[in-house]
Structure 1
Amino acid sequence: MVLAILQFELLIPGAESLKDKRRVVNSLKDRLHREHQVSVAEVGLLDTPHAARMALALVTNDGRRAGQTLDRITTRLRALNEAELGDCSREILHDPKGEDSAPGPDGPDRSLDSEMLRRALDESEDAA
């Protein structure tokens, strides 16, 4: 399994309000998802009309494909008419267990399930 992450800032000089910014950001999110099958979210600078911090993620079984997809997306971001690409960083994570990883002899790893359950219980106690 390969997880590819691209984080980037968009500079939106033509946006005079948050509504103008949302139009540009939502249009870009929809386009990237539709054309590249990636998950996209605005992750920062939410209250800044002239800029947005965004991130996208892609999961695949081929590291080269992940890199090529991020390259194509970066090229597309540089060519935007309604915004300019600011800071951009990427990370490609490979599953250390490899392609043939399978649950151990005791079954699947339940540590994440246990951690989520513990946090949910802690939150419900805090709310009470």
Structure 2
Amino acid sequence: MKIGCCQIKFHLHGNNSLKGKRKVVSSMKDRVRSKFNVSIAETGDNDIWQSIELGIAAVGPDPQYIDGQIKQVVEYLDKLQLAEMTDCKFELIHVGHEYQ
């Protein structure tokens, strides 16, 4: 089993409230969930008005597929232009034993 994990940070220009931030975060999560078969959640910077941290995860047997799926989500979020992407980290985790 392979697990792809991605942490993305965004900056919200001109935002001045947690309510405004929640609206953007909800929109991002809802759009990703409706288009991709991945898990997505706000994972940090919860009380900072102009900062968003999202975590994305995908699970499967094929590392190339998982890598491609996560990259598509990252590109999609960037193209939405709801906030400026400032950082993106990806990790692929191998779980279990390989049998030959």
Structure 1 unaligned spans of 5+:
101-128
- Identity over aligned residues, as a percent? 31
Q: Does 1:45 align with 2:32?
A: no
Partner of 1:23: 23
Partner of 1:107: none
Deviation by residue 1:9-28 (Cα, 9 ceiling, x = unmatched): 01111322100000000111
2:33 is aligned to: 33
8 Å Cα contact 1:77/1:84 also seen in 2: no
- With a CA cutoff of 8 Å and minimum separation of 6, indicate the structure with the bigger relative contact order: 2
Structure 2: unaligned runs, 5 residues or longer? none
Aligned residues: 99
State the TM-score, normalizing by the size of structure 2.
Answer: 0.90
Could you tell me how far apart the structure 1 residues matched to 2:76 and 2:22 are?
A: 19
Q: Which runs of 4+ in 1 moved over 6 A?
A: none
Name the Cα RMSD after superposition. 1.3
Aligned partner of 1:8: which letter? I
TM-score by length of 1: 0.72
Aligned pairs for 1:80-99 within 5 A:
80-98=80-98
Q: Secondary structure at the match of 1:69?
A: helix
Q: Answer 1 or 2: which has greater strand percent.
A: 2
- Give the whole-Å Cα distance in 2 for the aligned partners of 1:23 and 1:97: 42
Are the counterparts in 2 of residues 14 and 82 from structure 1 also a CA contact under 8 Å? no
Give the structure 2 partner of residue 114 of structure 1: none
Q: Distance in 2 between matches of 1:75 and 1:97?
A: 32
Deviations 1:12-50 (A, max 9, x none): 113221000000001111111221111111111111111
| Larger fraction in helix | 1
